Structure 1
Amino acid sequence: MSDNTVTPLAPLTLLGTGAMGTALARTWLAAGHPLTVWNRTPSRAEALAAEGATVAASAAEAVAASRLVVTCLLDDDSVGETLDGVDLTGRDLVNLTTGTPADGRSRAAWAEARGARFLDGGIMAVPPMIGAPRSGAYVFYSGSAELFEEHRETLAVPAGTTYVGADPGFAALCDVALLSGMYGMFAGVTHAFALIRGEDIEPKEFAPLLVSWLTAMAQSAYGTADRLQSGDYRTGVVSNLAMQVAGKATLLRTAEEQGVDPDLLTPFMTLMERRLADGHGDEDTTGLVELLAPGKD
């Protein structure tokens, strides 16, 4: 005889049903997980009740309903306020609220002092990507490795999971590091489109050229990582700092001719000039990291 017993899916609690919280909740409900939700404004949880969620009257009631408790609130202060006075003994607290590395570390100590295991998370997605196949959504996790392994399957339902270490601050750090790189790219894209504005160049025709170029140039991050790891900023350099600083005049003069404000370019160029003036003309731009983070190995 075969055993057709179906193992029930793990129940969990979600605190916070804003846009991201609602997207998370719907994927867990769709997958069959028993879900208890709470929101400071109860009306925002009504739609989830219609989809099968249990709506708790208080945060304390919601936390008492499940061992696994996920927070997706406005900010770190909101987490503290929501869970103030709530018994966390024996709970596994997974914080998906956007915060800083220091927030993650202090919240981990706060949770552990209250008898809970803690995992911090950084969501690399916007709400429409959550639960969408092949969207590329994933979440950085850091903190208790035991908690992560125990709940990995449940946490992987809304988005992919990437565990980045026992330090509770690492999820937020990786999150913000990637977002910072993204905004640097956005700055370049903005400047590029500003240069062609008003010319007989269609933005939709220019966009594929820009995407192709940025995709190719993004591979340089691997070389930067290798040089930072080895401490050798000179070997294999193709376009050195001296060459790049010499070429900046053309970039700035073109911006002037096109009537484009160079403010998105000049901070990076200033860093290149400083590094060159310190005698590092045969390096690439890797050494600029030392100007931004002096004294850190």
Structure 2
Amino acid sequence: MSPFIGELLGTMILILFGAGVVAGVVLRGTKAENSGWIVITVAWGLGVTMGVYAVGSISDAHLNPAVTIGFALIGDFPWSEVPGYVSAQVTGAFIGASLIWLQYYPHFKKTEDEGAKLGVFATSPAIRHSPSNFFSEVLGTFVLVLGLLFIGANEFTEGLNPLIVGALIIAIGLSLGGTTGYAINPARDLGPRLAHFFWPIANKGSSDWAYAWIPIAGPVIGGGLGALFYSAAFEGVIYSALWLFIIFFAVVQGLTIVLERRKNISEEFKEDVIHRRKVDA
């Protein structure tokens, strides 16, 4: 099996478990309905574990463009293979999400909440605030890639590494995931969001493309910072890309703050105009 197929299958397995548990919890009429956040985070962690077990010996089981890019930035992965890995990860995520749609087909029909349906496929913020949402995805993926490198620096009994990686995902979900649903993986969000967009899901509503840039840009920047920080702090190798990523993060974070303030001013102005019209009437 080629590494491309390995990454595709591994990411598909990850999404089968991850999107599957969300569907079970949020869709109407399932036996797992309303079983809660703990159930979701544990299943996502186990999904990563199973994906790593499945293809770790074939492709090293990145299953995440942020991981692939982060490793490439510090010389642990060849840049020439990055496009192939990323395309395999997005494709695998799309296939996995499509299978979940078929698995829960009658439950999508029974569910009226459009947000719940989108939540099976893609992430969305608990409170929509672009500066905070972007920061959450950066921090979560920073911790993910840093944690993966910590795990790789230690020796475990053969076969335990995937379990430790799964535990890391559960910990991130429980500690940092409540704000945005912790995409921490551009493929995990983009592939299923595309599935939501393309397939004729009953009364599905919007795919929320206005938000979609955050679970892509945030993890890429956070993963790059995590890998570059690890190299500088723990290996003593400082890449020039570290400063570029710090600047990039600061610029994007600053833009989100400015745009959010403009949005708030615009909304306040509209509310003021409506209030004056009511008073005048």
**What TM-score results when the alignment is normalised by the length of structure 2?**
0.30
Q: Which has the higher contact order (CA 8 A, sep 6+)?
A: 2
The structure that is strand-richer by fraction is 1
**What TM-score results when the alignment is normalised by the length of structure 1?**
0.29
- Structure with bigger gyration radius: 1
